[in-house]
Amino acid sequence: MLHDRTGFLLVLITSLGALIAALLSQHVLGMLPCAWCILQRGLFLLIAGWALIGFLGASFRFWSQLNWTLILFTAAAGIATAWHQLTVAAKAFSCDQTLADRIISSSGLDAAIPWFFGIYATCLDASVKVFGLDFAAWGLALFVLYALYALVMLVLSMRRI
């Protein structure tokens, strides 16, 4: 389906753009990430993966519906993660042993790919404003857009005969 392919491509490009922005912020601007930031990176990467798989298999209705559903649930996890970072973690002095820290550390990704998944700041230190909004708020907004878009695309694909 053409609009599914276009939709998946849009999600893929914007999620990769978010990841590039995070990496540039870290490696060029010196904004070091906390555990919750890294968890959000992982979710953006997962959304990009679902979008790529959906793009490649968009001609199959079931495959499109499955990938829109996976994007919807991953975006919902991203909403919860970003909301927690904004409302709770950004006010804490440490992210040590939080859910995000345990997930990232137990995955081994922080040791295997430290330039991407390394945790280098506390949650309080990682709370930075970009264009007047906390960096995590930008992630929250994008996760909300993905969830709404995936829900609309899922409903539209179910209405097609």
Q: What is the pTM of this model?
A: 0.87
Q: Which amino acid is at 150?
A: A
- Cβ count within 10 A of residue 133: 12
Q: What is the pLDDT along the chain (161 residues), one digit of tens a residue?
A: 557 889 999 999 999 999 999 999 889 888 888 888 899 999 999 999 999 999 998 778 888 899 999 999 999 999 999 998 888 766 666 565 677 777 888 888 777 888 887 777 666 666 666 677 777 888 999 999 999 999 999 998 877 65
Beta strands in the chain (DSSP E): 129-130, 133-134
Q: What is the rounded distance in angstroms from the CA atom of residue 123 to the CA atom of residue 128?
A: 10
Q: What is the rounded distance in angstroms from the CA atom of residue 7 to the CA atom of residue 12?
A: 9
Per-residue pLDDT, 157: 82
Per-residue pLDDT, 36: 85
Per-residue pLDDT, 106: 81
Per-residue pLDDT, 158: 79
What's 150's domain CATH number?
1.20.1550.10
Helix (H, G, I), strand (E, B) or coil at 14: helix
Structural domain range at position 63: 2-159
Per-residue pLDDT, 71: 97
Q: What is the rounded distance in angstroms from the CA atom of residue 121 to the CA atom of residue 11?
A: 29
Q: Do residues 125 and 46 touch, judged by C-beta distance below 8 A?
A: no
Q: Do residues 149 and 68 touch, judged by C-beta distance below 8 A?
A: no
Q: What is the rounded distance in angstroms from the CA atom of residue 57 to the CA atom of residue 160?
A: 17
Per-residue pLDDT, 93: 61
Per-residue pLDDT, 125: 63
Number of domains in the chain: 1
Per-residue pLDDT, 72: 98
Structure tokens at 53: 């798989």
Q: What is the DSSP string of 89-109?
A: GGGSS--TTSHHHHHHHHHTH
